[in-house]
Amino acid sequence: MDTHVIIMAGGIGSRFWPMSTPELPKQFIDVLGCGRTLIQLTADRFLPICPPEHLWVVTSAAYVDIVREQLPGIPAENILAEPCARNTAPCIAYASWKIRLRHPDANVVVTPSDALVLDAVEYRRVIWEALSFTERRAAIVTIGITPTRPETGYGYICARQDTVRELDEARVRRPSSLLEVAAFKEKPSLELARAYLAAGNYYWNAGIFIWNVRTITEALRAYAPQIAGVMDRMAPSFYMDSEETVVRALFPSCEMISIDYAVMEKAEQIYTIPAEFGWSDLGTWGSLHANLTKDDADNAVVGEGVHLYDCNGTVVHVSDLRGAVIAGLDGYIVAEKAGRLLICPLSEEQRIRDFEKA
């Protein structure tokens, strides 16, 4: 199987200020204090699935050097620089058109660069199941995370429970868990999220997609012809010295639209695999606190020389400091980076974008 992986790494991670900044967003930071950045962990998960030369990163032109430094095994021509942010549909289209030029039969996984996966073995099993399906069928597969709570911060995938299918290839030993997708749902209210959880056929949308490169390029032609047209004009420059100049001139003319709106809500033959592999999008300080190792008082710390006294439910991220003493905080964020300091209640984390502008 000719497998390729597209890692989307253009976000600025504004909800994690001051740890994450537009100059160095969260995907390029050792958020977990494990010695590897989020994008490095993402690439690591796929090395048993495909070689480094089949990994592709689409990122802002401002981050190309960071990607090269953190992922030195990826060929330079596989690091695609967006001159401006145009959302995920143009991002995916750029990589897909370039892959198809030299790998017309490629099977492709698309993934964000900044999510957490605790069970990499199960993650790869699910990805292999999806790839086995899309290798033989002109279908789109998206990974649906089995919800554990009525989450209002995620989009949802509504699956048709009556369409559990088995893969018909004899070499597949286990029944497939693929379900046909009925609809994609936007971030719900708490009441609606509770209804989704009770229904049992709704899953968190992790933004992980699997398809054959022909399937996605043809879908973009059908449902996002403006973007496809721009890609066709850019394509003669791919792998040439002129590529950067051409992309800089033409890519900004792409419609700014997500792959969900451009393709997923319109296409047919869309399936989901319900999965449980310890996933989190790590989109907030609260989600980071939930996924870090905690002490007996529910405090989570990243950084050396941090001493907590009478603190509870607090997350501390001060990897640039040589030491810190923190006392008497209950449910707080304490974060320092490059001389910028944030101290605020976890309950106020939705205001961090406003704090950043102060």
Q: In the predicted model, is pLDDT for residue 163 greater than 70?
A: no
Query: If DSSP codes are grouped into helix, strand and coil, which group holds residue 329?
Result: coil
216 and 340 both lie in a single domain: no
Q: Which of 224, 253, 280 is where one domain is finished?
A: 280
Q: Which of 280, 296, 322 is where one domain is finished?
A: 280
Beta strands in 31-91 (DSSP E): 55-60, 79-82
In this structure, what are the phi and psi dihedrals at residue 182, rounded to the nearest 5 degrees?
Answer: -90, -35
**DSSP secondary structure of 246-297:** HHHHHGGGS----HIIIIITT-SSEEEEEE-S-EE---SHHHHHHHS-B-TT
Query: If DSSP codes are grouped into helix, strand and coil, which group holds residue 323?
Result: coil
255 and 299 both lie in a single domain: no
pLDDT band for 171, please (50, 70, 90 cuts).
Answer: very low
Query: In total, how many domains does the chain have?
Result: 2
**DSSP secondary structure of 86-117:** --HHHHHHHHHHHHHHH-TT-EEEEEESS-EE
309 and 257 both lie in a single domain: no
45 and 28 both lie in a single domain: yes
In this structure, what are the phi and psi dihedrals at residue 46, rounded to the nearest 5 degrees?
Answer: -95, -5
253 and 299 both lie in a single domain: no
98 and 164 both lie in a single domain: yes
pLDDT band for 162, please (50, 70, 90 cuts).
Answer: low
The mean pLDDT of 302-312, rounded to a whole number, is 95
66 and 129 both lie in a single domain: yes
117 and 209 both lie in a single domain: yes
Mean pLDDT over all residues of the chain?
Answer: 92
CATH code for the domain in which residue 259 is found? 3.90.550.10
107 and 55 both lie in a single domain: yes
Could you report the per-residue pLDDT of 179-222, keeping only the tens digit for each? Answer: 999 999 999 999 999 999 999 999 999 999 999 999 999 999 99
Q: In the predicted model, is pLDDT for residue 3 greater than 90?
A: yes
Could you report the per-residue pLDDT of 232-284, keeping only the tens digit for each? Answer: 999 999 999 999 999 999 999 999 999 999 999 999 889 999 999 999 988 88
230 and 349 both lie in a single domain: no
CA gap 329, 285 in Å, rounded: 16
Instruction: Give the domain range for residue 349.
Output: 287-356
Q: Which of 280, 296, 323 is where one domain is finished?
A: 280
pLDDT band for 319, please (50, 70, 90 cuts).
Answer: confident
pLDDT band for 80, please (50, 70, 90 cuts).
Answer: very high
pTM of the model: 0.92
Query: If DSSP codes are grouped into helix, strand and coil, which group holds residue 315?
Result: strand
First to last CA, the chain: 51
291 and 275 both lie in a single domain: no
**How many angstroms from the chain centroid is the CA of residue 88?**
10
23 and 79 both lie in a single domain: yes
